Amino acid sequence: MSGLLLVTGTDTGVGKTVVTCAILRALQARGEKPVPIKPVETGCVDLDQPEDALALIAAAPGVPLGVVCPVRYRTPAAPATAARIEGRAHSFEGLVEHVRAIRAANPRVILEGAGGLLVPLDGGKTYADLAVELGASLLIVARNALGTINHTSLTLEAAKSRGIPVLAVVLNAVSTPDAVFIDHRAELCALWPGVPILGPTSRMKNLQSTTMSDEVSLMKFFGYDYRYLIDIIADN
């Protein structure tokens, strides 16, 4: 389905929300009106104040919370696990219907996953299944640190085996540099010559920031790759 993108990660805490917010702002700067959806958010201290969803709304003002994040749990775990622990339920089919209804009225929808591509959403269904069901393309956010070559390759293999198109991988700086520096971009480019490997992004002063307004400009954040990334997404 053209115009539908799933931002996934190689792990939790790799910067999916930061990158998604940047994409939302950049698309708006081009005159588009992207609608963000985080189908399920877990780890909500206050169910009425889901942190990631509110950051997405701040980046795309005017979209109601119920549209952005229809399902919320307090337990910081995979959606299927959080639902089981809390004795509540959501359905994979219900999430698919929610996204389709929003997509029918909006030409550009940006989904943000939770954790990685194979995180269970409902029973045996994962975010990979959601991408397949919806016909979404994939943007993978990877931690620019030791271990990312394996994590990123596993995610790319999972997407490839399911026929999910990958638009790009964004290497994101989310922690202190490794003691021994490795050029992860060069390594991944050699392993995956058909996939754009972008970044790494600039390290942010406040690693918890999702707005970036007080940290760095979008151009500085992504460097040269910023315009290229947005062009890839806009053309999808």
Residue 39 in tokens: 């189908």
The lowest-confidence range among 9-13, 45-49, 67-71, 196-200 is 196-200
Q: What is the pLDDT of residues 40-52, one digit of tens each?
A: 999 999 999 999 9
Average pLDDT over residues 69-90: 97
pLDDT at residue 13 is higher than 70: yes
Q: What's the full length of the chain, in residues?
A: 236
Catalytic positions are 38
* pLDDT reported for residue 201: 78
DSSP 200: P
Percent of the chain exceeding pLDDT 90 equals: 67
Q: 4-37+108-234: CATH homologous superfamily? A: P-loop containing nucleotide triphosphate hydrolases (3.40.50.300)
Q: What is the pTM of this model?
A: 0.91
List C-alpha distances in Å: 1 to 95, 104, 112, 134: 16, 11, 16, 7
List C-alpha distances in Å: 200 to 21, 39, 123, 177, 179: 17, 27, 35, 12, 17
CB distance 88 to 75 below 8 Å: no
* pLDDT reported for residue 208: 46
Average pLDDT over residues 99-112: 97
Mean residue pLDDT of the chain comes to 88
CA–CA distance, 162 with 135 (Å, rounded to integer):
11
CB distance 120 to 18 below 8 Å: no
CB distance 111 to 99 below 8 Å: yes
CA–CA distance, 132 with 223 (Å, rounded to integer):
31
Percent of the chain exceeding pLDDT 70 equals: 87
Which residues, 6+ apart, have CB-to-CB distance to 39 below 8 Å?
A: 69, 70, 71, 95, 98, 99, 111, 121, 130
Q: What is the pLDDT of residues 171-217, one digit of tens each?
A: 987 766 665 678 999 999 999 999 999 988 765 555 445 444 433 44
The lowest-confidence range among 85-94, 95-104, 108-117, 177-186 is 177-186
Domain ranges of the chain: 4-37+108-234
